[in-house]
Structure 1
């Protein structure tokens, strides 16, 4: 049974507005009380290795930690909102307001998290100029203040669409991004930047291309959405170099088309048949004219995150003769938003209604993604029901976050290309 046409372009431009089922558990920090009492709080922070401060669970559970975020205020500071990825509900932002230690410049906010949690985060600071009076207008105003990185934390990650890097925290058992670090003695592939014109879409975009060291013939293909973030932003070339050098994936060619801007991204990455046409009938032939690459769908990975993950799955079910391997991370499978399942989760419904296709899926999603998680689980269940026995699905303790996606991307590539 063929797929029916997707909803029209522009149907939905925001995720469902769903309240977080349970707020993150707040905690009391014994360390903060002790450091305040020491008379040299910020010296104690430096001695502890900076922010956030991680303590043992006061309840004695070795699988949990208390994580304390810190901000050094000024005389102008009226409020500070701490914003770890997906650990704040826009409908209850008061839960993330930091506490002020009276008579000091110390602001702090502590939560109890499982010890495999990781997240990027930032702060929004009220230094005056807020709307008059209390009420709903204050929270959007505070969220509109520039997000600030943590000056007490040297660990940062590139920000989407550029700008100041974001800070991040990784608890002791969280997966680390060691595969992303440049290593001495590892042969480096080449990265080139191109402009590719699309007659189907009526636009042009930059496409970064990764070619492995030494080139190769009939190379496997990786098509990775949101290329501007992955290269040069996160330097996915370093990851590919390392995985190839260790023999965990074969040498491959990677195509990284950029998303141009947010509006174009919504139009093109929400199950757009035209965008899949660009990938299949323009981008892949363009690459085939310049490099020796496979035409075997079983050696062609289409990958993406969020709307890009939705598009990766849509591309494969639309053109399984060209895209046989799907790596979808935190896919926006809720799309389009609707009042019930009949008017939402369009792609899952179409997969359920169609015959099983010769496509392998590798899906992952964060446990903290309370909007994306239910839809991802429903897609997982549909894949099982339809006989996709080789589909892989897993959840990690994190959010909608490139910090998590970078390690998940590595694991997914290894699994799909082994």
Structure 2
């Protein structure tokens, strides 16, 4: 795990020194107005600190002398008298089995709560924060404290000092996003430049007999497409990609830049958390829905290719597992697979014929990282065209959205 600093970061040490200096008045203790003057000076120092933090955005990033490959990231919270503790929940950084280690520390005599990590300079992550203002002190028992922090984590929300946000879904709130100076560029992930043609996004409801229920599907159609057969991307979690992350902006930018040919995207909703866990778990029924119901339904409406070499199935987490299973089970329909952070240890067997596979995984994903590396070696030994991309982050939509664009270019850009 990334290393938490045992002492204060330089930015905190500087404000601590200024506050201490303001408290050390040369006047005698009984000098009228001395304490009021020092209190006023401390207030000015703190207001300047918070104004600077709001201007720079948080976490505050500081270079490390002699170590250009790492930075110090300092997370901040402005507390008040009722603040008992502040919790940081950051993907790829926080150990959720020991939330006490992810609490911010108060700077005595101020309203500043802070927590600093030494991180590799290419780190990217989403995070939320939560302040505990319940009466009474936090429990002394480690087990009771962990339980209290787990309860507090439900209320975690974006960092008010960070303007970069990422939408959440279901019970999850929005999250803040930070990236260090050497993080891979977010090429194509923002709204395309003015004047770039926009594709069209439609939402349809179609029968899904094999799943026993109807499904909502997002369809992206490129700007100005002609009658020629379009390449197809089948993308899991359409409600996240199109309902919340505006992935159509990325697609418009990719096509306008010539990095991707005009293509169609079919993205079924995941419905809800329980349905997603139940269906996106390498089940043949869901693969049959994608291959035998979704694709034929779409081909009856738009000019889509039936060439597996120009058809890609992609997903993240359980969606990545489903995508791999679809490519392995139905290579005659899906000739390309892009799987990100998938629990591939649940996968058995392999494709009956070679399919092109790209695997993406975070360096902060523990066993998932090891399993991706193992699967990469297995597929390569079987003659499957496979690449493995590793990014410095965790199980995180903030990382996947960048890797997804790169993966599409790799697999369909030619």
Q: 2:387 maps to what in 1? A: 392
* 2:206 paired with 1:187: no
RMSD, aligned α-carbons? 1.7
Q: C-alpha displacement at 1:115, in angstroms?
A: 0.7
Mapping of residues 297-336 of structure 1, within 5 Å: 297-333=308-344
Which is further off, 127-136 or 148-157? 127-136
CA contact (8 A) 1:124 1:142 kept: no
Equivalent position of 1:113 in the other structure? 119
Bigger share in helix: 2
Residue in 2 that maps onto 1:350: 349
CA distance in 2, matches of 1:106, 1:266: 40
* Offset at residue 301 of structure 1 (A): 0.6
Among 48, 51, 60, the residue aligned to 1:43? 48
Higher relative contact order (CA 8 A, sep 6+): 1
Of 134, 141, 165, 2:148 maps to 141
Aligned equivalent of 1:367, options 363, 367, 384: 363
Residues in 2 aligned to 1:162 and 1:220: alpha-carbon distance in whole angstroms: 35
Q: Partner residue of 2:183?
A: 174
Q: How many residues of Structure 1 are paired with residues of Structure 2 in the alignment?
A: 380
Q: Distance in 2 between matches of 1:74 and 1:25?
A: 24
Q: Which secondary structure state, in structure 2, belongs to the residue aligned with residue 139 of structure 1?
A: helix
Matching residue of 1:210: 220
What SS does structure 1 have at the residue aligned with 2:243?
helix
Deviation at 1:232, TM superposition (A): 2.5
Match of 1:125 in 2: 131
Task: Please point out which of 253, 268, 273 is paired with 2:264.
Answer: 253
Write the distance in 2 (CA, Å) between the matches of 1:61 and 1:23: 15
Counterpart contact for 2:63–2:70, Cα < 8 Å: yes
SS in 2 for 1:208: strand
Shift of 1:200: 0.6
Q: Displacement, 1:162? A: 6.7
Map of 1:33 onto structure 2: 13
Contact 1:196-1:204 at 8 Å conserved across structures: yes
Q: Paired residue for 1:407, among 380, 402, 409? A: 402
Q: 1:151 to 1:117 in 2, by over 3 A?
A: same
- Once the two structures are superposed, residues 301-329 of structure 1 have per-residue CA deviations (whole angstroms, 9 ceiling, x without a partner) of 10000101111000010100000100111
Could you say which residue in structure 1 is the equivalent of 2:376? 380
Q: Which residue pairs with 1:53 in the alignment?
A: 60
Contact persistence 2:234–2:265 (CA under 8 A): yes
Deviations 1:272-292 (A, max 9, x none): 110011111110011010001
Structure 2 runs not aligned, ≥5 long: 19-41
In structure 2, C-alpha distance between the alignment counterparts of 1:52 and 1:44, rounded to whole Å? 13
- Which structure 1 segments of 5+ residues have no match? 1-21, 334-344
Tell me if structure 2 keeps the 8 A contact 1:186–1:241. yes
Q: Which residue of 2 aligns with 1:269?
A: 280
CA deviation after TM superposition for structure 1 residue 45, in Å: 3.8
Work out which of the two has the higher radius of gyration on C-alpha atoms and give 1 or 2: 2
The correspondence for 1:102, drawn from 74, 86, 108, is 108
Q: Deviations over 1:361-390 (max 9, x none)?
A: 0111000111311111111111122122x2
Q: CA deviation at 1:24?
A: 3.1
State the match for 1:342 in structure 2: none
- Distance in 1 of aligned mates of 2:359 and 2:246: 22
Aligned to 2:411: 416
User: Structure 1 length as normaliser, TM-score?
Assistant: 0.87
8 Å contact kept, 1:51–1:152: yes
Q: Which residue of 1 aligns with 2:3?
A: 24
The question of whether the paired residues in 1 share the 8 Å contact of 2:105 and 2:115 is answered with yes
| 1:94 Cα deviation after fit | 2.2
Partner of 1:76: 82
> Displacement, 1:394?
1.4
